[in-house]
């Protein structure tokens, strides 16, 4: 009986220590919060922005309780970026390696991209680090049902504009033909 009590006590104490260790590990974790803004433009034929078609500004902040290491910003962009309001720009293609972030610190990244993307591609912009992953929030839905509806509506709008243009052209041609028939009868 004495052996069973000591075994049970050992098991209970081991479980308590293990649970405390796991909770401590989970609590002391870096948590990345990333938000961004995005703009794209169409350049007139006589104007050039050195080939850049879009601009993004992203803030990556460590809101957790531990240092975030191995931080990498993965984007669908290709171009140049500047980090933390610096004057130095660097070339990149899709990925930007960032320095470690202490709790409460952040990086501000400005990106000038040679490609412009519809907003539903922005959900491919994520931040990874050694202890997790975070999506960059651009302030509107880019995933899920609403994101898919938005993607479909964007594609349908293009089709509607093309079809509408053909219909307007056909109506103008029809009216012109009717005018010709009326003139020929007079």
Structure tokens at 159: 């089709």
Q: Tell me the CATH number at 40.
A: 2.60.40
My answer on whether 167 and 103 are in the same domain is no
How many CB atoms neighbour CB 88 within 10 A? 8
My answer on whether 134 and 42 are in the same domain is yes
My answer on whether 51 and 127 are in the same domain is yes
Specify the number of domains making up the chain. Answer: 3
Q: How far apart are CA 53 and CA 59, in angstroms?
A: 21
My answer on whether 19 and 83 are in the same domain is no
My answer on whether 130 and 181 are in the same domain is no
My answer on whether 94 and 128 are in the same domain is yes
Per-residue pLDDT 10s for the chain (186 aa) are 567 767 777 777 787 777 766 665 555 778 888 888 888 776 665 556 677 888 889 999 999 888 999 999 999 999 999 998 778 889 999 999 999 999 999 999 999 998 887 776 787 899 999 988 998 888 765 556 666 676 677 677 777 888 888 899 889 988 888 888 888 877
Instruction: Write out the residue range of the structural domain in which residue 135 sits.
Output: 31-140
Q: How far apart are CA 13 and CA 73, in angstroms?
A: 43
């Amino acid at each position: 009986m004495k052996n069973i009590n000591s075994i049970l006590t050992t098991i209970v104490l081991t479980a308590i220590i293990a649970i405390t260790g796991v909770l401590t590990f989970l609590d002391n974790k870096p948590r990345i919060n990333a938000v961004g803004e995005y703009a794209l433009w169409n350049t007139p034929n006589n104007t050039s922005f050195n080939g850049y078609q879009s601009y993004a500004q992203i803030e990556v902040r460590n809101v957790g309780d531990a240092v975030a290491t191995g931080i990498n910003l993965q984007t669908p962009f290709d171009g140049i970026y500047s980090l933390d309001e610096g004057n130095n720009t660097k070339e990149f293609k899709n990925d930007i390696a960032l320095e470690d972030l202490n709790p409460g610190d952040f990086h501000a990244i400005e990106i000038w991209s040679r490609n412009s993307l519809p907003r539903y591609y922005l959900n491919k912009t994520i931040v990874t680090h050694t202890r997790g992953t975070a999506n960059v929030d651009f302030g509107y839905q880019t995933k899920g049902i609403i994101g898919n509806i938005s993607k479909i509506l964007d594609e349908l709008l293009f089709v509607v504009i093309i079809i509408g243009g053909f219909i307007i052209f056909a109506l103008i041609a029809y009216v012109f033909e009717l005018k010709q028939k009326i003139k020929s009868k007079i």
